[in-house]
């Protein structure tokens, strides 16, 4: 009979029967429980729970206040922080008390003792508020004497008196709660006695209906569970009977569709896994080749950097040599200028010597003329002495000596003239040579200046070349650094590719355990001995594979960006 009804109808029927029994049993219980719950809730809400929280919170705030007062006196805590805490406590303590008192005052009219304690607490909270105001003034004025007096004289009796009120309220309210509980317990006992018979009848009825319901549903659910177990073990060849028209039949039909879709999905995953495995192997091989080329490029860059350093050193040395040659050329230019000036002076001196030599030659010519005339006169005197006879003999001797002297003077003048003439010729040659030397020195000075200019240009070019080589060396160093980073990224990408390949293989082995109609593979047959117990055990492999793909893709993007 129940197999013709839907599970929904069966459950509704079962719930209605149970509801009738439970309503009959619980009607009286609801009333008694509601009254008792209201009493207990009122007592707990208005008395015990707020009082316990009030006591703990106020005690904590006041103990913290006392601790901070002592800390300020011992200069272990800041006055500003203690003042802020006192200001907060001055607002929080009265608020907590008034919040509790506003709830407790509803029951205070029925209990004179509680009302009296509430009045004492109200008076105490005013003293506490006054104490905090005085404490704030002491903090503000940094009056440690007043702070010490308050801590030692005012604090103990104030704290003791206020906390004593709270201590007295606790047993009083506990007593009230106990009385309410006893009244509620009596009501509940009456309710239990009256509801026992109805509960027994309802229980027997529910047991019978439950047995029938279980018998009708259990068989179909057992078949569905067996099919689900086989699917969980990866067997998608299971045959599911979906001929029922109730909800279980709908469940079996849905399981049949799920099996068909999972079978198609696993087939696609197998194909995709094989493709990923091959692609990851190719990526790993490509990364290995790229790693080798990157290492070779890094080695070449290191050699290039070393050569550039040597070239930079050579260029710097050439620049230094060019600067030194420039300085030497400048010194040579100065020396050449001085030599030209000296040659000009020599040319001038040689001209003066030539002029003096011409004057000496003229003077020697005059002397030679005088000697010639003297010789003529001496000859005439000798003739006249010869004519004079014996009387002119002495004069003849004198004339002869004068003639000899004139001849010697003429000979000496001739020799001097020849020497002067030779000297004049040499002076002329020297002047011409000095003039030529002066022109040559001028050309040398001009050439030395040109050499100095060229050396200055070489020096500037060498400095520019040195700076350019330094920039090239720096650029090569940066390229080398980037290449090393690329090499590191390539190694990471290679590791990721290898990991992806391994995970793809693991996924392929995991997927191979599924049995599909017409698609049983040798790999699946080999893996039957190591089948996982359920589909849940395959999820970690799939998750690891997906994470590996994402990691490899991220590394590839990072390498391309670098």
Q: Do residues 24 and 202 touch, judged by C-beta distance below 8 A? A: yes
Residue 208 to residue 324: CA distance in whole angstroms: 120
DSSP class of residue 512 equals T
pTM over 0.75: no
Per-residue pLDDT tens for 383-411? 777 777 777 677 677 778 887 887 787 78
Classify residue 162 by its DSSP letter.
H
% of the chain residues with pLDDT over 90: 0
**In the structure encoding, which two tokens stand for residue 245, read together?**
């028209």
Encode the chain (562 residues) as per-residue pLDDT tens digits: 655 766 667 777 777 777 777 777 666 666 655 665 555 555 545 544 556 667 777 878 788 888 888 888 888 888 888 888 888 888 888 887 877 777 666 554 456 677 777 777 788 788 888 888 988 888 888 888 888 888 888 888 888 777 777 777 766 666 666 665 666 667 667 767 777 777 778 778 878 777 777 776 777 778 778 878 878 777 778 777 767 777 777 877 887 788 788 878 877 787 888 788 788 778 878 877 877 887 787 788 778 878 877 877 887 788 788 778 778 877 877 787 777 777 677 767 877 777 777 777 778 778 878 878 887 887 787 777 777 777 767 767 777 888 788 778 778 877 887 887 887 777 778 777 777 877 787 777 787 778 778 877 887 887 787 788 778 778 877 887 877 787 788 778 778 877 877 887 787 777 676 676 665 444 444 444 344 444 444 434 444 444 444 344 444 444 444 4
Question: Distance between CA atoms of 267 and 468, rounded to whole angstroms?
Answer: 64
- The candidate with the shortest Cα–Cα distance to 514, out of 291, 248, 221, 238, is 238
Distance of CA 387 to the CA centre of its chain: 139
Query: Do 41 and 50 contact (CB within 8 A), yes or no?
Result: no
Count other C-beta atoms under 10 Å from residue 151's C-beta.
Answer: 18
Which residues face 235 on adjacent strands?
Answer: 515
Contacts of 36 (CB under 8 A, 6+ apart): 180, 183, 184, 187, 188
For residue 515, the SS3 value is strand
Dist. CA 287–CA 281, nearest whole Å:
10
Checking 244-249 for CB contacts under 8 A at 24+ apart, the result is 244/220, 246/3, 246/5, 246/6, 246/7, 247/6, 247/7, 247/8, 248/7, 248/217, 248/220, 248/221, 248/224, 249/220
Could you give the CA distance from residue 175 to residue 169 in angstroms, rounded to a whole number?
10
Q: Quick one: which of 283, 315, 303, 331 has its CA closest to 490? A: 283
pLDDT of amino acid 26:
66
pLDDT at 25: 67
Q: What is the pLDDT of residue 533?
A: 41
Q: Chain centroid to CA 520: how far?
A: 53
pLDDT value at residue 188: 65
The vertex-153 CA angle with 150 and 158, nearest 5°, equals: 85
Axis-axis angle for helices 247-388, 539-561 (nearest 10): 20
């Amino acid at each position: 009979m129940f197999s013709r009804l839907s599970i929904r109808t069966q459950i509704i029927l079962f719930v209605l029967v149970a509801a009738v029994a439970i309503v009959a049993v619980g009607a009286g219980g609801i009333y008694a429980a509601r009254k008792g719950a209201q009493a207990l809730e009122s007592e707990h809400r208005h008395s015990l729970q707020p009082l316990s929280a009030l006591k703990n919170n106020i005690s904590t705030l006041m103990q913290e206040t006392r601790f901070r007062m002592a800390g300020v006196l011992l200069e272990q805590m800041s006055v500003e922080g203690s003042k802020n805490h006192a200001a907060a406590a001055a607002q929080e303590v009265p608020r907590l008390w008034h919040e509790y008192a506003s709830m407790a005052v509803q029951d205070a009219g029925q209990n004179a003792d509680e009302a009296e304690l509430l009045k004492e607490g109200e008076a105490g909270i005013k003293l506490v508020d006054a104490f905090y105001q005085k404490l704030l003034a002491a903090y503000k004025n940094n009056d440690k004497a007043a702070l010490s007096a308050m801590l030692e004289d005012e604090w103990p009796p104030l704290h003791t008196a206020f906390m004593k009120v709270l201590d007295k309220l606790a047993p009083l309210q506990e007593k009230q709660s106990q009385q309410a509980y006893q009244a509620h317990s009596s009501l509940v006992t009456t309710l239990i006695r009256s509801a026992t018979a109805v509960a027994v009848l309802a229980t027997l009825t529910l047991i019978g209906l439950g047995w029938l319901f279980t018998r009708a549903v259990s068989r179909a659910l057992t078949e569905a569970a067996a099919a689900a177990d086989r699917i969980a073990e990866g067997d998608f060849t299971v045959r599911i009977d979906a001929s029922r028209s109730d909800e279980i039949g709908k469940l079996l039909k849905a399981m049949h569709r799920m099996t068909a879709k999972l079978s198609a999905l696993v087939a696609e995953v197998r194909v995709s896994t094989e493709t990923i495995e091959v692609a990851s192997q190719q990526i790993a091989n490509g990364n290995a080749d790229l790693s080798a080329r990157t290492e070779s490029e890094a080695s070449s860059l290191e050699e290039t950097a070393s050569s550039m350093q040597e070239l930079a050193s050579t260029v710097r040395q050439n620049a230094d040599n060019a600067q030194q040659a420039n300085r030497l050329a400048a010194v040579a230019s100065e020396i050449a200028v001085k030599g030209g000036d000296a040659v000009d002076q020599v040319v001038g001196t040689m001209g003066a010597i030539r002029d003096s030599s011409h004057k000496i030659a003229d003077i020697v010519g005059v002397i030679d003329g005088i000697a010639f005339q003297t010789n003529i006169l001496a000859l005439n005197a000798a003739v006249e002495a010869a004519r004079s006879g014996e009387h002119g003999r002495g004069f003849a001797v004198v004339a002869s000596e004068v003639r000899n002297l004139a001849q010697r003077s003429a000979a000496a003048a001739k020799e001097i003239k020849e020497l002067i003439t030779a000297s004049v010729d040499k002076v002329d040659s020297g002047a011409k040579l000095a003039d030529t030397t002066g022109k040559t020195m001028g050309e040398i000075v001009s050439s030395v200046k040109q050499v100095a200019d060229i050396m200055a240009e070489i020096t500037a070019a060498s400095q520019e070349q040195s700076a350019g080589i330094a920039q090239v060396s720096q650029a090569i160093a940066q390229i080398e650094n980037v290449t090393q980073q690329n090499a590191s990224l390539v190694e990471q990408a290679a590791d990721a590719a290898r990991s992806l390949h391994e995970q793809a293989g693991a996924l392929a082995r995991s997927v191979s355990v599924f049995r599909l109609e017409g698609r049983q593979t040798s790999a699946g047959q080999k893996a039957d001995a190591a089948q996982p117990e359920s589909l849940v055990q395959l999820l970690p492999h799939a998750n690891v594979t997906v994470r590996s793909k994402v990691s490899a893709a991220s590394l590839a993007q990072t390498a391309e960006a670098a």
